[in-house]
Amino acid sequence: MEDKGFGLYIHIPFCKKKCNYCDFISYINMEYFIPQYIETLKKEMDFYKDYCSKRKIRTIYIGGGTPTILQPEQLEHIIESALKTFRVYNELEISIEANPDSITKEKLHKLKNAGVNRLSIGLQAYQTHLLKNMGRIHSPGQFERAFLAAREEGFDNINVDLIFGLPGQTGEQWEETLKKVTALRPEHVSAYSLKIEEGTLLYDQYKSGIIKLPEEEKERGMYYFLIDFLTSRGYNHYEISNFAFPGKECRHNILYWKNKEYIGIGAASHSHFCKKRYHNEEDLEKYIEVFSLKNRPPIKDKESISKGLEISETIIMNLRLTAGLDKIEFFNRFGVDIKDLYRKEIELLENSRLIEETQTHIKLTKLGLDFANEVFVNFIP
Amino acid sequence: MSRQERIRNFSIIAHIDHGKSTLADRLLEFTGMLSERKMVDQVLDKMELERERGITIKAQAVRLTYKANDGNEYYLNLIDTPGHVDFTYEVSRSLAACEGAILVIDAAQGIEAQTLSNVYLALEHDLEIVPVINKIDLPSAMPERVKKEIEDVIGIDASEAILVSAKEKVGIQEVLESIVNKIPEPKGSPDKPLRALIFDSHYDPYKGVIAYVRIVDGSIKKDMNIRMMSNNKVFEVNEVGIFNPEMLEIQELKAGEVGYLAAGIKDVKNIRIGDTITEAENSATEPLPGYKKINPMVFCGIYPADGGDYESVKEALEKLQLNDASLIFEPETSAALGFGFRCGFLGLLHMEIIQERLEREFNLNLVTTAPSVIYEIEKNSGEIVRIDNPTNFPDISEIKAIKEPFVLATIMLPNEFVGAVMELCQEKRGIFKSMNYINENRVIISYELPLNEIIYDFFDLLKSRTKGYASFDYEFLEYKKSDLVKLDILINNETVDALSFIVHKDRAYYLGRRIAEKLKESIPRHMFEVPIQAAVGGKIIARETIKALRKNVLAKCYGGDVTRKRKLLEKQKEGKKRMRQVGNVEIPQEAFMSVLKID
Which pLDDT score, from 0 to 100, does residue B91 have? 67
Of the listed ranges A12-26, A325-339, B468-482, the least confidently predicted one is B468-482
- B241-250 tens-digit pLDDT: 998 877 889 9
Confidence grade of residue B54 (pLDDT, cut at 50, 70, 90)? very low
User: To the nearest whole angstrom, how far is the Cα of B579 from the nearest Cα of chain A?
Assistant: 14
- When the pLDDT of each residue in chain B is averaged and rounded to a whole number, the result is 86
Closest CA to B381 of B370, B395, B364: B395
Mean pLDDT confidence for A117-135 = 96
Flag if B552 and A63 touch (Cβ within 8 Å).
no
Percent with pLDDT over 70 in chain A: 99
Flag if A9 and B557 touch (Cβ within 8 Å).
no
Closest CA to B288 of B220, B240, B216, B189: B216
Which residues of chain B are within 8 Å of residue A282 when distances are taken between CB atoms?
Answer: none
Which residues of chain A are within 8 Å of residue B556 when distances are taken between CB atoms?
Answer: 192, 195, 241
Q: B97-112: buried (b, 16+ CB within 10 Å) or exposed (e) per residue?
A: bbbbbbbbbbbbbbbb
Q: Which helix (H) or strand (E) holds A130?
A: helix A128-133
Say whether pLDDT at B457 is over 80.
no
User: To the nearest whole angstrom, how far is the Cα of B515 from the nearest Cα of chain A?
Assistant: 27
Say whether pLDDT at B133 is over 90.
yes
Say whether pLDDT at A351 is over 90.
yes
Flag if B562 and A256 touch (Cβ within 8 Å).
yes
Of the listed ranges A22-36, B108-122, B209-223, B235-249, the least confidently predicted one is B108-122
- B296-320 tens-digit pLDDT: 888 999 999 887 889 999 999 988 8
Which pLDDT score, from 0 to 100, does residue B34 have? 61
What one-letter code names the amino acid at B221? K
Instruction: Identify the residue with better confidence: B457 or A218.
Output: A218
Flag if B550 and A301 touch (Cβ within 8 Å).
no
- A185-210 tens-digit pLDDT: 999 999 999 999 999 999 999 999 99
Say whether pLDDT at B467 is over 90.
no
Nearest CA in chain B to A312: B566
- Would you say B77 and B65 are in contact if contact means Cβ atoms under 8 Å apart? no
Q: Which fold has domain A6-257?
A: TIM Barrel (3.20.20)
Mean pLDDT confidence for A310-327 = 96
Closest CA to B81 of B40, B119, B33: B119
Percent with pLDDT over 90 in chain B: 45
Chain A residues near any Cβ of chain B (below 8 Å): 9, 24, 63, 192-193, 195, 216-217, 219-220, 223, 240-241, 253, 256, 259, 262, 264, 269-272, 277, 279, 301, 303, 312-313, 316-317, 352, 369-374, 376-377, 380
Nearest CA in chain B to A242: B555
Which residues of chain A are within 8 Å of residue B551 when distances are taken between CB atoms?
Answer: 193, 216, 219-220, 223, 370-371
Flag if A272 and B565 touch (Cβ within 8 Å).
no
Mean pLDDT confidence for B63-91 = 78
User: To the nearest whole angstrom, how far is the Cα of B307 from the nearest Cα of chain A?
Assistant: 19
- Would you say A379 and A315 are in contact if contact means Cβ atoms under 8 Å apart? yes
Q: In a 10 Å sphere around its CB, with 0-12 CB exposed, 13-18 middle and 19+ buried, how is residue B196 labelled?
A: buried
- B544-576 tens-digit pLDDT: 999 999 999 988 777 788 988 899 999 988 888
Side-chain half-sphere exposure of B80, counting CA atoms within 13 A: 28
* Order of all β-strands in the sheet with B73-80: B60-67, B73-80, B7-14, B100-106, B128-134, B162-163
Confidence grade of residue B47 (pLDDT, cut at 50, 70, 90)? low
Say whether pLDDT at A1 is over 50.
no
Instruction: Identify the residue with better confidence: B384 or B440.
Output: B384
Give CA–CA dist B396/A238, Å, rounded.
59
Which pLDDT score, from 0 to 100, does residue B42 have? 46
Which pLDDT score, from 0 to 100, does residue B89 have? 60
Say whether pLDDT at B540 is over 90.
yes
Which pLDDT score, from 0 to 100, does residue B58 have? 47
Flag if B563 and A240 touch (Cβ within 8 Å).
no
Confidence grade of residue B123 (pLDDT, cut at 50, 70, 90)? confident
Q: Does B527 touch chain A (CB under 8 A)?
A: yes
Flag if B572 and A370 touch (Cβ within 8 Å).
no
Nearest CA in chain B to A23: B558
Which pLDDT score, from 0 to 100, does residue B396 have? 84
Rg of chain B over Cα atoms, rounded to whole angstroms, equals: 27
Q: Does B575 touch chain A (CB under 8 A)?
A: no
Q: CB within 8 A of B298, min separation 6: which ones? A: B344, B345, B346, B347, B348, B350, B351, B371, B372, B373, B451, B455
Q: Which helix (H) or strand (E) holds B215?
A: strand B208-217
Name beta bridge partners: B390: none
Flag if A303 and B563 touch (Cβ within 8 Å).
yes
Which residues of chain B are within 8 Å of residue A162 when distances are taken between CB atoms?
Answer: none
Would you kindly state where each structural domain of chain A is located, as residue ranges? Answer: 6-257, 325-379
Which pLDDT score, from 0 to 100, does residue B291 have? 64
Nearest CA in chain B to A367: B551
Which pLDDT score, from 0 to 100, does residue B556 have? 79
- B405-455 tens-digit pLDDT: 999 998 988 889 999 999 999 999 999 999 998 888 889 999 999 998 888
- A210-234 tens-digit pLDDT: 999 999 999 999 999 999 999 999 9
Mean pLDDT confidence for B136-150 = 92
Which range, A175-184, B49-58, B384-393, has the best average confidence (pLDDT)? Answer: A175-184
User: To the nearest whole angstrom, how far is the Cα of B583 from the nearest Cα of chain A?
Assistant: 14
Flag if A316 and B565 touch (Cβ within 8 Å).
yes
Report in angstroms the alpha-carbon separations of B139 from A268, B109, B136, B163, B584.
Answer: 62, 12, 8, 14, 63
Say whether pLDDT at B152 is over 90.
no
Give CA–CA dist B122/B128, Å, rounded.
8
- B366-379 tens-digit pLDDT: 888 888 899 999 99
Q: Which helix (H) or strand (E) holds A313?
A: helix A307-319
Which residues of chain A are within 8 Å of residue B570 when distances are taken between CB atoms?
Answer: 380
Which residues of chain A are within 8 Å of residue B577 when distances are taken between CB atoms?
Answer: none
Give CA–CA dist A77/A62, Å, rounded.
13
- Would you say A115 and A75 are in contact if contact means Cβ atoms under 8 Å apart? no
Say whether pLDDT at A16 is over 90.
yes
